[in-house]
Structure 1
Amino acid sequence: MGYACPVCEIPQQDEMHLANHLAFAAMLGNEDHEEWLDEHVPDWEGMGPGDLGERASAFAPEEEFEAVFEDTTGHDHGDPGRLENAIPAQRGRQAMGGETGEILAEAEAMTREMYESEEE
């Protein structure tokens, strides 16, 4: 079981993955995801993944997917609380310049804030 993204229908394993998918897509410039969040969860930018996932999942009915999720394959992302595990793209950010680098830096900072606020 999982959730289909209410915007693009890409399968997400759980509420947390749905929240991260929606937020990262929006922050990286996907206007459809950003507009959906602005309409359905107007205060999404100030939420952590737990709260955002809970709110967004109300609009994304649970579905059964034939696809295998990473957590069932033995693939390990490591500690999700460690930023380098939460955002694999940040390792290559130094090689990117301009707007792409700025967007990734903003996403990194927002992710760090989300994890820190959930630890409190």
Structure 2
Amino acid sequence: MSYLCPVCESPFGGSEPLADHLAVSAILHGGDHEAWLDETVADWDALSRGELGECVVDHADETDDHEHIGEHSHHEPEPASGLPNGIDSEPSGHNAADTTLDADAQAIIEEARELTREMQRDDKQQES
């Protein structure tokens, strides 16, 4: 099922991609995404991807469209890096622009990547 972001109305193909978008946007940019999460989901920054996804889809409109980050099918196995589609462990391809960012921006992106890794570890532990 696909959902529209309740803040910017960008389409995402599932609850976890929507949760990733909201959390990363809030962490990197603050603004409307952070304010919406603060008002809507208590302690959103402490939740796993799955838990945050369950909370945010209740506030998102459903859609037939969704973002296709990179080439993928809807039955693709987990990426080799263990990170969601569109989040590379190292800057390359369409994320190569990261290398032109200043040190503060690079630190923010690395923090977002590490938070994503932690959320995935939490999800895997909960599944066990």
TM-score range, shorter chain: 0.7 to 0.9
CA contact (8 A) 2:69 2:85 kept: no
SS of the equivalent of 2:29 reads coil
TM-score after normalising by structure 2: 0.75
* Correspondence for 1:102 among 77, 89, 107: 107
Per-residue displacement from partner, 1:78-99 (whole Å, max 9, x unpaired)?
5276248562374255554322
Structure 1: how far apart are the matches of 2:85 and 2:67? Answer: 20
Report the Cα offset of residue 47 of structure 1: 1.1
Structure 2: how far apart are the matches of 1:57 and 1:51? Answer: 10
Corresponding residue of 1:18: 18
Structure 2: how far apart are the matches of 1:70 and 1:10? Answer: 12
Counterpart of 1:103, as a letter, is I
CA RMSD of aligned residues (A): 3.1
SS of the equivalent of 2:3 reads strand
Task: Report matched runs for 1:49-68 at 5 Å.
Answer: 49-65=49-65
What is the number of residues matched between the two proteins?
119
CA contact (8 A) 2:15 2:54 kept: yes
Structure 1: how far apart are the matches of 2:23 and 2:12? Answer: 13
CA contact (8 A) 2:3 2:61 kept: yes
C-alpha spacing 1:70/1:96, structure 2 compared with 1 (3 Å): closer
Report the Cα offset of residue 49 of structure 1: 1.1
TM-score after normalising by structure 1: 0.79
Per-residue displacement from partner, 1:99-119 (whole Å, max 9, x unpaired)?
201111211211111111111
C-alpha spacing 1:77/1:90, structure 2 compared with 1 (3 Å): farther
